[in-house]
Structures are given as C-alpha cells and as structure tokens.
Amino acid sequence: MRWFLFMCMCWVAAPSWAAHAYAQFGDIKYPPDFSHFEYVNPQAPKGGSIAMVAPTRGSNFDKYNPFTLKGTPPPALSSLLFESLLTGTMDEPTTAYGLLAEDISVSADRLSATFKIRSQARFHNGDPVLALDVKHSFDQLTSRAAAPQYRTYFAEVKAVVVLGERLVRFDFKRVNPELPLIVGGMPVFSHRWGEGKPLDKIITDTPIGSGPYTIGSVDFGRDVHYQRDTKYWAQDIHVRKGMYNFDRITYRLYKDSTAQLEAFKAGEFEYIQAFVAREWARAYSGKAFDSGQLIKRELQHGNAGDFQGFLFNTRLPKFKDVRVRQAIALAMDYEWMNRQLFYNAYTRVRGYFVGSDFEAKGMPTERELALLEPLRRQLDAAVFDQPVPLPPVTSLDPASGNTLRDNLRLAKKLLQDAGWTYRDGALRNAQGQAFTLEFLDNSGSMGRVVTPFAKNLQKLGFSVNYKVIDFAILQKRMDVFDFEIISSRYVGSESPGTELLERFGSKAADTEGSSNVLGLKDPAVDALLDRVITAQTRPQLTDALRALDRVLRHGHYSVPHWYGSVHRVAWRGGRFEQPTVTPRYYQPEAWISSTWWANAANRSQGAGVR
C-alpha cells in the first residue's frame, strides 16, 4: 500500500498499450528483459536475521489488519506481507513495474486499465492470486469497514471488472493520468482472509497475503517476528531478485526514544534511525562506536525534504483567523533552537514541498498565475501581490528589525487586529475568554522545543499547556479531531498526487480518521488539487504543486519545523553486507530490510539476536 503514497506513477497516451512498466511522464529506466534493479545484489545469499526497532509509536500493537481505522498493527506488516499489481523502485520517482501483474494496458480513451496477473503468483496458503482476489480487495478497501483514506484514494474508480481468471479491468470515472497507477499500487489480499467477515471484524486473523514474509512468533503487543517464506513465488523475478534476504526480520517496540537507544546499545536489536540531533551528537558515542561494534553513519539521499510542523486544528473557532495563526508562528525562535538544541544540524522547513522542484518561490510565475487567476475571488490578494511567505527569522542584530522582540511586537499587532488583547493577566477576546493553547505529544521528545516556544507565547498572553499522552490515546483523539495543536510529519515525495486529496481536500476534513489534520476546507485548494492529479506532463504537475504550495503558505496553517538532508542511522557491525549501489530515493529502514543481507557469521548463527 505505502509505495503508491509517495511513488506517483504513469499514464499512457497510446491507443491500447501493454507493457512491463508505466512511467508517469514517459521515462522507463529498465527494459522488458531486465534481470534485476541495479541497487540490489542478485547473488545475495538468503539466511540470517536482523532485529529492528519500530519508530516511537507507543508500546504495543493489537491487531494484524493494517487496513482498518481502529487499533494499531505491527510495524512493517503491510510492506512485508502484502503485494500489489505494480511496484515502485528506489531509483525512479515516477515509474512502476509489474509485480503481481505481468502485463498492464490502458484503453485508448484512458478510462480503463487492464492487468494480467502472473500465473505463478501465490498467496501464503498456496492459493493462486486471481482477479477475484483483486476485486475483493478493492471492494473491502472501499467499504465503510476500511479506514477512510482508501475511499479517497480510489474515489474515481467507477468499477472493477473480472474479465477472466487472471484478467481484471479498472474503469475510471474520468481521465486522470495517475489513476491506472493508483490502482496498480492497491494492496491485494486473499478473499479467504477472514472467512467472509467484514473487514473491520478481521482483527487477529493471520493475514493471507503474497509477500516475501509471513508472521512468525509474536510477543503480542511487544515484539513481532516476520519469517521469510522459503517458497515465495516472486523471489526469482526481476523486481524481486536479490531482495528480502533475511530469514527473519524482528521488530521491537519501546515506549520512548531513550529506551530505544539504551536497548540498542545493550544489543537487543541491530538497527536504529536517529531523529533527534542532540541524541545523535551526544548519545550515539562511546567505546562500542569507537571500536566498530556499533556503526554510526549519515547516509546521503535524493529524497524531497519532509514537511514537519506544528499543525493548527482550524475546525476550532480560535484558529479560524489567519492573523492568529501567523502571530503564533512569529513566537518561535528557530534560529535560537538550531544553535542551542539542534547543533545547527537542520534546515528550516519553508513550505509543504520543501527541497523539491515543487516548492513555491518568490512571486508567482506566469504559469502559476494562469492557474491562480480563475480563483482570484477566492484567494487573498497577497497570493498575487506578495512573495510566498517564508518562516519568520530571528536575528541577534537589533538593527535588523527581525529580533525576537520585533517579531513579538508584530505578533501582538496581528492579535489585536484579530480581536485579542492582553488584559486581566491573559490574552482575551471581546467576550473576555482567555486564549489557551494545548500541544499534544506521545513521546515527550517535543518538550524541549515547546518549552522555549511556550515562554515566548506567554509573553503575548497565551496560556500554554504541553501534554504527553499515550500513543493509542493520541491516535484516537486525532481520529476524531479532538486536539488543538499537534506536531506532524509528511514524508517528502518526488511526485505528489492523489494522496494530497486526503491531506488537504475538503471532503476529507469531516471524515474521522482522515489525514486532513488541519481541517482545511477551501474551494481554491480543491481546485488546485484537481489540477495536480490531472496533470499530464511533469511541467504541469510542477506548476500546479507550486501554486498549491503558495496558497497553503499564505494560509499560515502550520508553524514550520525543520528537516535534515541526510539519514542518521546506526547498526551493529560485523553482521551485515550491503549492495555497492545505493539508490537515490529511499527510506533507510525499507532499504536495509529489502536489499541488505546477513554475512556468513550471521547466517551461521541461525536465529540471531533475540
């Protein structure tokens, strides 16, 4: 499921074109007879194990079904157990190749896409993967029993038609260049999974997928072991050759990042990614690192920058006024934080597509204006007349006009214009109600950021509460939009598309469990989203995304955070080997688990770390 969230794929202009791959804008790197991806070792031996840690997300899991809203599945279950008709790559941002499908075609009118399923494709129970399983998966994922984002992803699919035992066609409501590839990225599971129960009643039933791993032994709610399927149907086809080499992949769960790091040093698992600059600089050190027992690396990549920030819940009346949101952002002294807390390790997030071709800059271009002009009545004049907003800067030079005091003065003026003034010991509106702010966190890691931010906000009269709650409780509150300000991160994409409807579209704003955390309901944004998902060339996509970024940034819906230009990772030395070629676009956890392999010593140990 996950790959199509960040790997938009292709469309085809040919009358009826069948091929091994799709490229969104025409470039296909690997020919039909390619033997393997260049970033893998096709001779990598199978065997051994690797123990990894789940990103901080609470201390348990309570289901095996990753497709429903309620509950928490084990980490990596979707990517290791379930497969799709097409698969993306780590060295092409807009191309996908046949996995379950050996042949894909688009009709002359571009209103349907047909997939021919490989005859050797098998589920873990030995059943063949058939067209009826593809239709069953679609029907389940678009039902009310599934998490709501799936209905958004597949909203423009009119029908799924079984044409034969291994032939299935997706019919579309309109021409949309991305649609054939969105459906190609749909996770496929057996119609026998759950034995006829509705999807939301399938909770701890063992998944029946077709992926390289099955669920092994489980310490339920704590640790999960995935066992390599030695009869994996695709282990020798070109898109899987040299991949998924470990006999066992273990994920361990911990309550917080401190517990994770100490467990890593103690040998409880073998790979970890660091997200806190202070920990990376100070805690990832010692004799084990000096001796090479533990290896610490900053890995280069070509990924678009991740967006991260404090997001406002604009469903709440107090956050409706853009001037209030802008004033709150002015109270963050990022430059001080980067010096004092982050060891100058980060770059400030500027917009929602930071570090990519899609980031808006300066004044709108002519091509952006062509998209924005029809929406002029719905947009603030500043979108057309002013450069795209940049996050506030704090200078140590009193003459700069950008000191923290200057920023707080501007914030005070904005708040006054919005009807909030300081009196009786608090920032109050005309009705005398005090302005309170609540920041929610599940790990406590944001505490050192919120504390200095809160002090500046208190100077403006805000009453600030920073609250740390369990991940499960936080998730439930987010699902029903019961929060004020939340820290969130969107993984950068080299080709954003339909997933943005779920993130910024009006229809998702009132759908519980959606990714529209902001509560954004803006017809201008919806119109630009439509231009994004219907773009037929790379320049059209770029222009539409820049226009969207511009409008969102003028809305001041978030307080931008920061991003790193490298992956900071550490692993246990003397146990693993890796391919000579590192892909350009990758997340380290997926890259390691899918392309690395155990060295001879690791393989001889069999079970490995426990």
Residues 6+ apart with CB under 8 A from 433: none
pLDDT of 608 reads: 39
> Are residues 108 and 179 in contact, defined by beta-carbon separation less than 8 angstroms?
no
Residue 14 has pLDDT above 70, yes or no: no
585 found inside a domain? no
Is the same domain home to 352 and 242?
A: no
Q: Is 325 helix (H, G, I), strand (E, B) or coil?
A: helix
Is the same domain home to 248 and 324?
A: no
Q: What is the mean pLDDT of the chain?
A: 92
List beta partners, residue 170.
113, 160
282 found inside a domain? no
Which pLDDT band, with edges at 50, 70 and 90, does 22 fall under?
confident
CA separation for the pair 465, 438 (Å, rounded): 5
pLDDT digits (tens, 9 = 90+) for 56-81: 555 578 999 999 999 889 999 999 99
Residue 101 has pLDDT above 70, yes or no: yes
Average pLDDT over residues 367-383: 97
pLDDT of 2 reads: 34
> Are residues 12 and 86 in contact, defined by beta-carbon separation less than 8 angstroms?
no
Which pLDDT band, with edges at 50, 70 and 90, does 11 fall under?
very low
357 found inside a domain? yes
Average pLDDT over residues 266-282: 92
Percent of the chain with pLDDT over 70: 95
Residue 9 has pLDDT above 50, yes or no: no
Is the same domain home to 240 and 311?
A: no
Q: Is 331 helix (H, G, I), strand (E, B) or coil?
A: coil
> Are residues 265 and 283 in contact, defined by beta-carbon separation less than 8 angstroms?
no
CA separation for the pair 158, 507 (Å, rounded): 18
Domain boundary at 253, 275, 291, which?
Answer: 253
332 found inside a domain? yes
Closest CA to 124 of 212, 240, 202, 205: 212
Query: Which ranges of 61-178 would DSSP assign to H, the alpha helix?
Result: 77-81, 131-141, 148-153
Q: Is 559 helix (H, G, I), strand (E, B) or coil?
A: strand
**Residue 196 token pair:** 């006829």
Is the same domain home to 326 and 211?
A: no
Residue 547 has pLDDT above 50, yes or no: yes
Average pLDDT over residues 298-306: 90
pLDDT of 28 reads: 85
261 found inside a domain? no
Residue 559 has pLDDT above 60, yes or no: yes
Q: Is 399 helix (H, G, I), strand (E, B) or coil?
A: helix
Is the same domain home to 119 and 203?
A: yes
Which pLDDT band, with edges at 50, 70 and 90, does 601 fall under?
very high
pLDDT of 236 reads: 95
By DSSP bridging, strand 436-441 and strand 463-468 are: parallel
pLDDT digits (tens, 9 = 90+) for 410-449: 999 999 999 999 999 999 999 999 999 999 998 888 999 9
Is the same domain home to 335 and 233?
A: no
CA separation for the pair 211, 363 (Å, rounded): 47
The lowest-confidence range among 11-15, 286-290, 322-326, 497-501 is: 11-15
Where b means 16+ CB within 10 Å and e means fewer, 520-551 reads: bbbebbbbbbebbbbbbeeebbbbbbbbbbbb
pLDDT of 610 reads: 32
pLDDT of 56 reads: 57
Is the same domain home to 315 and 223?
A: no
pLDDT of 401 reads: 87
> Whole-angstrom distance between the N-terminal and C-terminal Cα of the chain?
29
Closest CA to 490 of 516, 458, 524: 516
Is the same domain home to 221 and 315?
A: no
Residue 493 has pLDDT above 70, yes or no: yes
Burial class (CB in 10 A: 0-12, 13-18, 19+), 42: middle
176 found inside a domain? yes
Residue 18 has pLDDT above 70, yes or no: no
List beta partners, residue 467.
440
For residue 393, give the amino acid letter: V
Residue 500 has pLDDT above 70, yes or no: yes
Is the same domain home to 71 and 202?
A: yes
Residue 92 has pLDDT above 70, yes or no: yes
Percent of the chain with pLDDT over 90: 78
CA separation for the pair 246, 46 (Å, rounded): 6
**Residue 354 token pair:** 């930071």
- CATH number of the domain enclosing 488: 3.10.105.10
Is the same domain home to 374 and 249?
A: no
294 found inside a domain? no
Residue 506 has pLDDT above 70, yes or no: yes
Residue 3 has pLDDT above 50, yes or no: no
* Domain count along the chain: 2
CA separation for the pair 137, 158 (Å, rounded): 15
Question: Domain range for residue 392?
Answer: 307-563
Which pLDDT band, with edges at 50, 70 and 90, does 15 fall under?
very low
Domain boundary at 208, 229, 253, which?
Answer: 253
pLDDT of 219 reads: 86
Closest CA to 39 of 592, 408, 573: 592
- CATH number of the domain enclosing 114: 3.40.190.10
Residue 211 has pLDDT above 90, yes or no: yes
Average pLDDT over residues 358-368: 97
Residue whose pair of structure tokens reads 């809203």 in the numeric block: 69
pLDDT of 491 reads: 86
Is the same domain home to 356 and 465?
A: yes
Is the same domain home to 331 and 229?
A: no
The lowest-confidence range among 5-14, 246-255, 269-278, 529-538 is: 5-14
pLDDT digits (tens, 9 = 90+) for 573-594: 999 999 999 999 999 999 999 9
Residue whose pair of structure tokens reads 């009705």 in the numeric block: 431
283 found inside a domain? no
Closest CA to 52 of 223, 229, 262: 223
CA separation for the pair 26, 9 (Å, rounded): 10
pLDDT digits (tens, 9 = 90+) for 122-173: 999 999 999 999 999 999 999 999 999 999 999 999 999 999 999 999 999 9
